[in-house]
Amino acid sequence: MIFRLHGIRLRYNRDSIASLKTRILQHLSLKETELVSFSVVRRSIDARKKPVSLVYTVDCVTTENISHKDITPPEELKQLEVPVGKMPLPHAPVVVGAGPAGLFAAYMLAKSGYQPILLERGQAIEKRMAAIAEFARTRVPNPESNVLFGLGGAGTYSDGKLTTSLSHPIVGTILHTLVELGAPERILTDAKPHIGTDLLQGVVTNLAAKIEEMGGHLFTETKLTGLKHQNGKVVGVETSKRSFDTTQVVLAIGHSARDTWEMLEGTGVALAPKPFQVGVRVEHPQNWLDTLQYGEGAGHPALGAADYKVTARIDNVPVFSFCMCPGGHTIATVNEPNQLSVNGMSHHARNAPFSSSGIVVTLAPEVYGAVNTESALRFVRTLEKNCFERGGGDYTAPAQRLVDMVEGNRSTVLPKSSFAFGLTPTSLETLFPPFIYNPIVQALPIFNRRLPGFIHPESVAIAPEARASSPLRIVRDKDTRQSVSLAGLYPAGEGSGYAGGIMSAALDGINAALKIIEQYKPLQG
């Protein structure tokens, strides 16, 4: 008999295959000879009661038929079926942007025989790492190669989270593809999978190489500068190096390609302001969080670094944690000079001494005064410029202790931080408009009740977290996924306003590629 068994619990310090097998036998009242095999499908941590438990879902094969309340039929990985169109495709499709959306769009097209051209304005990983190191040394950013632009996109320098609420069958395909290209196998079973920036760099390099191996063509350091169009249809793209004739363009430009948004609007492509998230990045000592969440299990390798998720509504405004990076770092996310934004990043081991999490407010366009592209970008750029200047004009970041924020005091001394450029003590109230600052301050006591000690004497808020999502959406038809302004243009991913994270962006990119595949025949030769 083959079945799926749910809810097998082990204490955190008994995390082994032998212990799991013993527990399965006990749970089902089986003899050892009756359990032919089992495999882990899902592993999660339950820290609601101490000691902390590990909770498993396993697929089992037994010699006997079993009836039990905790078993269900097993689920097979659904194979992605791709119906192929019949229209001839005069030129290879072009994918703009090599973040998760662009890479997976190009991967799907290449795998299906369409020989896509993949354009990335930034550099490949090794050069990109050198540019980031140079920024750290000189404090002079490279506007085309940084933690936002380059192979892998902004997600390469993050925690590499793969959590998603999506249940689409393509999600399994994405995860298995990542494992084939070097991601740890445990992302297939962890309830909260992550790769980490150190491993993700190799994975995206392998993914790009696989695309080329399957017939695709990657051009790094090649920026989209214009779209060619006739009679409301795309006929080509202009880049910083050369032009390409094409009738199909997947536009996966990322959430920080502001100059590209401006170019698109000048070309006549419809964009619209949308709700987005702005706030601060909050750091805590990781050992405090581990002890709070795991008690005596803090530091145990079976549990790893603890995380948290907090939410509140203040006067109907959502305030919540974003991109929580356990054992991580706060980094500068900069591509435009004299602007400052921050985000979080973790290595796979998550072994740094700080937790780093965005605490952000969702802003509707009417709240921050966005009526068009120009006003939306002006709002964000003004906030980033003010924070840059208040920090000291050299990418030192303005910051305030959480204790001072709730007590209404300007910080004069700050705790240690992972932010490599340094912090300037200040009052963030003077930098943020009330519709951002006040909800965050009012939410902190709520978070402190849920996580006692959240307003920790060594916790600090670093400003601004302004790249959590895109303030703009490239308007597309929900059925064709094409721009409402330009046929053959497929806005996809975070920069187009249709995703929020690695998995949802990758899925959106694949869905754009599938629309092309459904219409056209693969290229010959």
Chain segment 347-376, per-residue pLDDT in tens = 999 999 999 999 999 999 999 999 999 999
CATH top-level class of 94-271+473-519: alpha beta
Q: Which of 322, 124, 147 is nearest to 204 (CA)?
A: 124
Query: Is this model's pTM higher than 0.85 or not?
Result: yes
Confidence of residue 164 (pLDDT cuts 50, 70, 90): confident
Whether the CA torsion 254, 258, 261, 263 is positive or negative: it is negative
The CATH number corresponding to 2-72 among 3.30.70.2700, 1.10.287.1080, 3.90.1150.50, 3.90.79.10 equals 3.30.70.2700
pLDDT over 60 (residue 198): yes
pLDDT at 525: 55
Find the range with the poorest average confidence among 156-170, 212-226, 302-316, 398-412.
Answer: 156-170
Structure tokens at 293: 């969440």
Q: What is the mean pLDDT of residues 149-155?
A: 95
pLDDT, one tens digit per residue, over 328-340 is: 999 999 999 999 9
Phi and psi at residue 297, in whole multiples of 5°?
-85, 0
Q: Which DSSP category does 459 fall into?
A: -
Mean pLDDT of 200-204: 97
Q: For position 167, what pLDDT does the model report?
A: 67
Rounded to an integer, the average pLDDT of 13-42 is: 95
Q: Check whether 323 has a pLDDT greater than 70.
A: yes
Residue 341, classed as helix, strand or coil, is coil
Q: How far apart are CA 497 and CA 138, in angstroms?
A: 33
Q: Residue 508 carries which side chain, given as an amino acid letter?
A: D
**DSSP states of 102-147 as a string?**
HHHHHHHHHHTT---EEE-SS--HHHHHHHHHHHHHH----TTSSS
d(CA 237, CA 245): 7
Q: How confident is the model at residue 443 (pLDDT cuts 50, 70, 90)?
A: very high
Supply the pLDDT for residue 83. 85
- Is the pLDDT at 168 greater than 80, yes or no? no
Q: What is the mean pLDDT of residues 186-193?
A: 94
Residue 24 has pLDDT above 80, yes or no: yes
Per the prediction, the chain carries an average pLDDT of 95
Calculate the alpha carbon distances from 516 to 83, 89, 109, 398, 480 in Å: 10, 10, 8, 46, 10
pLDDT at 165 over 80: no
Asked if pLDDT for residue 147 goes beyond 80, the answer is: yes
d(CA 56, CA 7): 6
Residue 303 pLDDT > 80: yes
Beta strands in 433-478 (DSSP E): 460-465, 472-474
Q: Closest Cα partner for 244 from 252, 253, 235, 257? A: 235
**Domains of the chain: which residue ranges?**
2-72, 94-271+473-519, 276-465
What residue has token string 């973790």?
346
Residue 316: exposed, middle, or buried by beta-carbon count in 10 A (0-12, 13-18, 19+)?
exposed
pLDDT band at 346 (very low <50, low <70, confident <90, very high): very high
Q: Where does the pLDDT of residue 75 fall: very low under 50, low under 70, confident under 90, or very high at 90 and above?
A: confident
